[in-house]
Amino acid sequence: MLWMINIKVEFNLTKGQLLKLCCPDCKRETRHSVVQSVDIRGREDYDDDFWIAWYSTYQIVECQGCSQVSFRSQSSNSEDMDPYTGKSIVTERLYPARSKNFLPIKYFWNVPLNIRRIYREVIESFNSELYTLCAGGLRSVIEGICIDQHIKDGPVEVKTKDGSTKIERRKNIVGKIAGLCEKSILTKRNADILHEHRFLGNEALHELTQPSRDELGLAIQIIEHILENIYELPDKAEELRAQTDKRKMKHNKTLKRDAAKNRRAP
């Protein structure tokens, strides 16, 4: 039964300290300076023979390379000991969460909200090493694209009993990917790549196999490329066209003004 607790709070005890941390912007370990800190230490006494001591440190840190500001916490207690070395186990957390191998979440402003949400969950699953969920999420992104583009089926090559092949329209994920290609939303090469993702997703969800990190990393890159091509590039092309038209109009006005000046000149 707890009968005594002592807590001590200190401000800026570690201010100015230099730490080597992974920077979310530099994408590598850099020197960070502690800008502000709060240290909390405590001891909880339960009886004469049993007590628990603990500490927590909360720091605002700044990268000395890019000046990015982030948050770090560190904590441990007297019960958290490595059974093999006898040393205290210290838990460190960084916010935003990151490591050298973290994938950044790309911002797609024109992608539908539901697809954007699933894509974000895919990246978060990947960074949390939840690879089975990540693979299933990739499948959902593909399904979401097909729904948004009104793709219900597509031409699929199937084998007949006599060993020959024929083309049938299928409403499964294979047919929908073929439908994206049929409507020129995807190139044939990208459609073939998506078919490979389909098998990756099926294995993960139905056979409970876990794809490798490298497989998923490559798959995510291709999905990002497809989202960029379908949703972002048309908007960027339109913006470029508008800027070009504006520049041409400005140039034509300049020519007309110069021509008018020349006509008025003696």
| Residue 57 near residue 37, CB atoms below 8 Å | yes
Question: For position 251, what pLDDT does the model report?
Answer: 64
Q: Which residues lie across from 34 on neighbouring strands?
A: 61
Say which DSSP state 230 is in. I
| Residue 216 near residue 202, CB atoms below 8 Å | no
Separation CA 94–CA 70 (nearest Å)? 8
Residue-wise pLDDT tens digits, 139-156: 899 899 999 999 999 998
The low-confidence residues of the chain, meaning pLDDT below 50, are none
Say which DSSP state 89 is in. P
Residue-wise pLDDT tens digits, 28-72: 899 999 999 999 999 888 776 788 888 999 999 999 999 999 999
CATH of domain 113-233: 1.20.120.330
- The H or E element spanning position 242 is helix 233-264
Separation CA 263–CA 266 (nearest Å)? 8
Separation CA 219–CA 134 (nearest Å)? 10
Separation CA 220–CA 122 (nearest Å)? 8
Burial label for 204, CB within 10 Å (0-12, 13-18, 19+), is: buried
| Residue 137 near residue 118, CB atoms below 8 Å | yes
For the chain, which residues make up each domain, given as ranges? 4-95, 113-233
